[in-house]
Structure 1
Amino acid sequence: MSEKTPFDTSLSSSKQWIAAAVMAAAGVAGGAYLLRGPGTVAAAPAAAAAGHGDAPSHQDGEHHGEAAAKTGAKAGADAHQEADQHGDGEHHDNKTDASSKDAHGNAAGGHAEGEEAGEGLVKLSAAQAKAAGVVVDQAGPASIQKQVLLPGEIRFDEDRTAHVVPRVAGVVASVHAQLGEQVAKGQLLAVIQSPAVSDQRSELQTAQRRLAFAKSSYEREKQLWQERISAEQDYQAARQALQEAEIAVANAAQKLSAIGAGVAGASRYELRAPLAGMVVEKHLTVGESVTDSTASFTVSDLRSVWAEISVAAPQLPDVRMGAPVVVRATAFDSEAEGRIAYVGALIGAQTRTAPARVALANPQGVWRPGLFVDVAVLAGESPVPIAVDAKAIQRPDGKESVVFVPAEGGYRAQVVELGATDGKTTEVTSGLQAGQRYVKQGSFMLRAELGKASAEHAH
């Protein structure tokens, strides 16, 4: 075996370094591919080709360069295969993410559908519904009464109201009735000292004394005439004087009676209630001077009042004497039934309306004079295919009308469209079918529970 020269040794060492450099470049290219992804798959073969291009510059090292190129190409192929596997994994991950996203979306959609299905549902068991007073009925055909709605005002029943005046001039000595007091017929209201009453009583007393004298004179002249002592002419004169005295007494008594004063009492004039009722106005105080036309008291029997309404000309055919009406207060929840008692024959020149009146019984005193009311005149009836009780209709949002219907687990708010109504029964034009069950009583409680559930869901 021959000994190698230093040149051969140096050449061999240089070729080894070149091969090592090519292999390192291939490794770097493969790592870069792994980091950058499938878009750089040609980097490793390019690096290997570059290494292979450097090899011919070295002498006697072609086989080493070819070996290194083969090694770099193999490494590049391995790197490419690994990158393909990594890319498949990434695609797989993307597909998995998409599947997960789709599954999440489907889950979210299912949740939304569940919320929509539960929206408007009030969960309530049968026992809870019974305890809450929920009553279920069936929607069906009914008759809706045609109504003419008119504005009105409660007034005193003038047939049972008295405006008390003294009818004589004088000074108030005492007042015995107060505002708002219930008084009986003939009860003392006030006492007035009146000179006019004193003069009338004096006149009566004078007439009574003249009557007594005329009566005694007549008896004496009659006896004398019967005994033929006195002439008949004297007897007739005594008789005429007696008759005139009787007329004078009757006239004085009638004057006192006309002003409501008694026979006795000097100048005392008593003001008494002409009927039983409440003192609704009082204008007297002790020491006040009054005349014969001073409004002193107003006494009204409020057990009966009038609802006065104004009827426009187009509505007059529907407002007839005896027509039934429903009167509803505008300030609070109260209503009463009555009939048209009077319709005016003339239309006002300024208002272009005719007055009408409804007599209302008022035993509890609910209808106070001055209260504004709505008067619904029932003018006829019309049948409808589907109707519900008016109390079953609720408006949770203040806009849409709903009716609660039985549903699985409770009661659901069903949106409906309404037609004619008479205050008791309301027509349903859409949203319910004939024979469908609905909550007739207890819908207000269900509305409150629905609002509570909506508030909790919002938070």
Structure 2
Amino acid sequence: MNAHPMRRFVRFAVCLTATILLTACGQAAKPQAEGEGHAETAGDFERGPHRGRMLREGDFAIEVTIFEEGVEPEFHVYAYRKNKPLDPKQVQLAVELRRLGGKTDRFAFAPQQDYLRGAGVVEEPHSFDVKVRAVEGGRTHQWAYASYEGRTAFSAEAARAGGVKTEVAGPVVMAELVDMAGRIEITPEGRGEVRAWYPGRIVAMNAQLGQTVRKGQVLARVESSQSLQTYSIPAPISGVIVQKSANVGDVAYDAAILVIADPTKLHAEFFVYPRDAERVRVGQKVEVRNLAGDARLTARVEAVLPTADIESQTMMAHVHLPPGAASTFRPGMGVEGAFQVGAQQAPLAVRTMALQRFRDFTVVFARVGNTYEVRMLELGRKTPEWTEVLSGLEPGTEYVTDGAFLIRADIEKSGASHDH
């Protein structure tokens, strides 16, 4: 399949720049760099006996490799004269790596066995513009080339069209969460029972199951068995009649003849197991979500009942729901709750939804201008919203939160590799 015209242009422009640099340093013009987001293939540069990059000038050459077997990545560089191994003690070498964003890493080298070993770790990602300086036999050789991985470029317009959004990484307060199961119920204040004030026969009933009534509305009339006078029974609250246990002609005594529920007065009842009982407190924030996970809201614990259920040994925590919750949450629905039982400061964290997989790493994509590049992370604590970063990302880095999968897909499509 043919490459996108813009990608071909970017690739040509970067390669042309690298060629000019190489020619200026005395090296034959060869395609030494890949374009943004494109890893080099075996045909892009000459490989040496150790599968590294060959850099030549006259009859002198060096082979640059990054060694990673059983150790942190480090430079191993082999020297040659007339294609035959050269004693590394005869070469003084320095390498400079300029990374996306302007950070520069510099490496000095010392001879070891048959190669020159770089002092220090070549940190991930192995994506940089490289400058090499070698001195041997009184002659100085210099090369420059680009070696990118996990990198791509999007115009601002393309990024907006793809839904790409970014944030700046920094310190956050991370909530410590405990998940619990529960159900939606009417609050005690949202439930009213209609009872006869004095025993007697029901002579009129102005209420039907499911009917909406208002507080003070007359729902029934009862003839007192003692005085034989008829009195009216009003609705104690506004709401919906959810239970009807009597009809005209029945004798009303001490049982409720009607039950009214206000569907806007809801709370969630959660089952608190003994291991979490000491951590749940009144006033704590709780994210309440339905079992499908497509409806959620944040509320607070209003009460923790001190008695435990005999069979399950669970306590009950009540979480008050705002009136607007009635449009989504219904009495009797099963729900899940994430209780914020604590909070700790994380010196550096990123949005959990920003995390992606790249090779064997968990990464985010840093943004510098219109260029995006992987950052391999070592992670700490994690919540649904935030993940602590222990290493791999500089504070203040702008990184992709929404649309990160699009960046990853473009990098994978371009054939990004980890080839040295």
TM-score by length of 2: 0.52
Q: How does 1:129-144 map to 2 (within 5 A)?
A: 129-132=159-162, 134-144=164-174
Q: Distance in 2 between matches of 1:125 and 1:359?
A: 47
- Evaluate the alpha carbon distance shift between residue 347 and residue 140 of structure 1 in structure 2; reply closer, same or farther with a 3 A threshold: same
Q: Distance in 2 between matches of 1:276 and 1:395?
A: 54
* Equivalent of 2:380 in 407, 419, 423: 419
CA-to-aligned-CA distance 1:276-307 (integer Å, 9 cap, x gap): 1233x244697795754666543222333111
* Equivalent of 2:236 in 249, 257, 274: 274
Partner of 1:385 in structure 2?
347
Q: Which amino acid letter does the alignment assign opposite residue 375 of structure 1? A: G
**Which has a greater percent of strand?**
2
Q: Which amino acid letter does the alignment assign opposite residue 376 of structure 1? A: A
Q: Does the CA-based 8 Å contact 1:121-1:450 persist in structure 2?
A: no
Partner of 1:147 in structure 2?
177
* 2:402 is the alignment partner of 1:372: no
| Structure 2: segments with no counterpart, 5+ residues | 1-40, 47-51, 53-126, 128-146, 416-420
Q: Does the CA-based 8 Å contact 1:327-1:337 persist in structure 2?
A: yes
* 2:275 is the alignment partner of 1:339: no
Partner of 1:60 in structure 2?
none
Task: Give aligned-pair identity as a percent.
Answer: 27
Q: Give the aligned length.
A: 275
Q: Which amino acid letter does the alignment assign opposite residue 447 of structure 1? A: F
Q: Does the CA-based 8 Å contact 1:175-1:285 persist in structure 2?
A: no
Quote how far apart the aligned CAs of 1:358 are: 1.6
Q: Which amino acid letter does the alignment assign opposite residue 359 of structure 1? A: H
Q: For residue 318 of structure 1, give the secondary structure of its aligned residue in structure 2.
A: coil
Query: Which has the higher Rg, Structure 1 or Structure 2?
Result: 1
Q: Distance in 2 between matches of 1:439 and 1:271?
A: 63
| Structure 1: segments with no counterpart, 5+ residues | 1-104, 205-260, 263-269
Quote how far apart the aligned CAs of 1:384 are: 2.0
* 2:279 is the alignment partner of 1:318: yes
* Equivalent of 2:405 in 438, 447, 452: 447
Quote how far apart the aligned CAs of 1:359 are: 1.7
- Evaluate the alpha carbon distance shift between residue 413 and residue 292 of structure 1 in structure 2; reply closer, same or farther with a 3 A threshold: farther
**Of the two structures, which has the highest relative contact order with CA contacts closer than 8 Å and spacing of 6 or more?**
1
**Which has a greater percent of helix?**
1
- Evaluate the alpha carbon distance shift between residue 353 and residue 123 of structure 1 in structure 2; reply closer, same or farther with a 3 A threshold: same
Q: Which amino acid letter does the alignment assign opposite residue 389 of structure 2? A: V
Q: Distance in 2 between matches of 1:337 and 1:310?
A: 18
Q: Distance in 2 between matches of 1:278 and 1:370?
A: 16
Q: Does the CA-based 8 Å contact 1:122-1:449 persist in structure 2?
A: yes
CA-to-aligned-CA distance 1:120-159 (integer Å, 9 cap, x gap): 6665311222455533222222221222322222211112
State the Cα RMSD in Å: 4.2
Q: Distance in 2 between matches of 1:453 and 1:178?
A: 62
Q: Does the CA-based 8 Å contact 1:155-1:306 persist in structure 2?
A: yes
TM-score by length of 1: 0.49
Quote how far apart the aligned CAs of 1:425 are: 2.7
Q: For residue 363 of structure 1, give the secondary structure of its aligned residue in structure 2.
A: helix
